[in-house]
């Protein structure tokens, strides 16, 4: 169900529609796929080719597992964190372009509030929590969001502390998705490129690497305690 306020923001291009809304609008108005086609055009305009297929699979996933070594995963970023991130990556970008990217990022997160959201499992390198984007206020809100996720039945958040040392995924980002039909895919990402892996052997190898990290990461409850401790000292550690 889309609220009236959210629908109003969609109409004014201040928010992306949930993935299932175009199909529902076509059914309601008898428009024979027009809304779905327009939705696809908007997504193609905003998102680069290498990321589009990943988003399509993400929308079909019943389980999403992600290791992040540098920044908070896009699915759980706050609006302020996402904005600071885009401004850092492209300091010459026009404000309207930044807002377009932020709106798209927030729209992508609508799958988490769907009637049947996917289960989410996140392993965050300690560097993700200590690297500052946007200053203390932005980081406090982002860390608070992560703590809230530790209390959500469909989400598991774990921190991999520095003391663990090096590992096979250090510095990168890996996403593993289990689809509704049971198929599994992996997506490896850098700042400018992304690689989708569907070969069973390749996906299985990355799943093993992920499981090894999970075994070494803090428990969800210890993770929440750890993040709260960072929030308490945030003003002293962050620099605007």
Average pLDDT over residues 158-167: 87
Indicate whether 52 and 40 sit together in one domain: no
Indicate whether 100 and 20 sit together in one domain: no
Band the pLDDT of 143: cuts 50, 70, 90: very high
Instruction: Take residue 179 and report the two structure tokens written for it.
Output: 């689809």
Q: What is the mean pLDDT of the chain?
A: 84
pLDDT at 214 exceeding the cut of 50? yes
At 32-64, the pLDDT tens digits run: 666 665 555 444 444 455 567 888 889 899 999
At 122-137, the pLDDT tens digits run: 999 999 999 999 999 9
Indicate whether 135 and 192 sit together in one domain: yes
Indicate whether 18 and 124 sit together in one domain: no
At 80-95, the pLDDT tens digits run: 999 999 999 888 999 9
Give the number of other CB atoms < 10 A from CB of residue 21. Answer: 18
The answer for residues whose C-beta is within 8 angstroms of residue 229's C-beta and 6 or more apart is none
The structure's pTM equals 0.76
Last residue of a domain, one of 10, 29, 46: 46
Indicate whether 55 and 38 sit together in one domain: no
Average pLDDT over residues 211-229: 96
Average pLDDT over residues 149-164: 93
DSSP 93-122: S-HHHHHHHHHHHHHHGGGGGSSSPPEEEE
Q: Are 68 and 125 in contact (CB under 8 A)?
A: yes
Domain boundaries, position 3: 1-46
Indicate whether 35 and 70 sit together in one domain: no
Instruction: Take residue 140 and report the two structure tokens written for it.
Output: 């406090």
Indicate whether 2 and 98 sit together in one domain: no
Report how many domains make up the chain.
2
Average pLDDT over residues 71-88: 95
Indicate whether 17 and 126 sit together in one domain: no
Regarding predicted confidence, which is higher, 164 or 142? 142
Indicate whether 142 and 177 sit together in one domain: yes
Indicate whether 30 and 109 sit together in one domain: no
pLDDT value at residue 169:
78
Indicate whether 60 and 80 sit together in one domain: yes
Indicate whether 59 and 29 sit together in one domain: no
């Amino acid at each position: 169900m889309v609220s009236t306020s959210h629908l109003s923001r969609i109409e004014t291009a201040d928010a992306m529609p949930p993935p299932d809304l175009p199909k529902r609008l076509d059914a309601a108005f008898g428009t024979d796929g027009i809304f779905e086609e327009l939705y696809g055009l908007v997504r193609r305009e905003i998102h680069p080719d290498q990321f589009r297929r990943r988003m399509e699979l993400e929308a079909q996933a019943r389980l999403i597992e992600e290791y992040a070594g540098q920044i908070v995963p896009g699915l759980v970023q706050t609006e302020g964190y996402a904005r600071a991130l885009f401004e850092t990556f492209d300091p010459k970008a026009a404000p309207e372009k930044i807002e377009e990217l932020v709106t798209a990022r927030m729209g992508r997160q609508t799958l988490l509030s769907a009637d049947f959201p996917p289960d989410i499992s996140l392993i965050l390198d300690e560097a993700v929590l200590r690297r500052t984007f946007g200053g203390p206020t932005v980081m406090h809100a982002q860390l608070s969001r992560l703590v809230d996720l530790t209390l959500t039945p469909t989400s598991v958040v774990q921190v991999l502390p520095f003391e663990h040392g090096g590992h096979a995924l250090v510095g990168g980002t890996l996403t593993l998705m289990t689809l509704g039909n049971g198929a599994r895919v992996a997506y490896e990402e850098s700042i400018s490129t992304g690689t989708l892996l569907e070969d069973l052997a390749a996906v299985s190898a990355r799943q093993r690497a992920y499981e090894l990290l999970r075994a070494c990461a803090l428990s969800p409850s210890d993770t929440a305690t750890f993040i709260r401790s960072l929030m308490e000292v945030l003003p002293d550690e962050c620099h605007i």
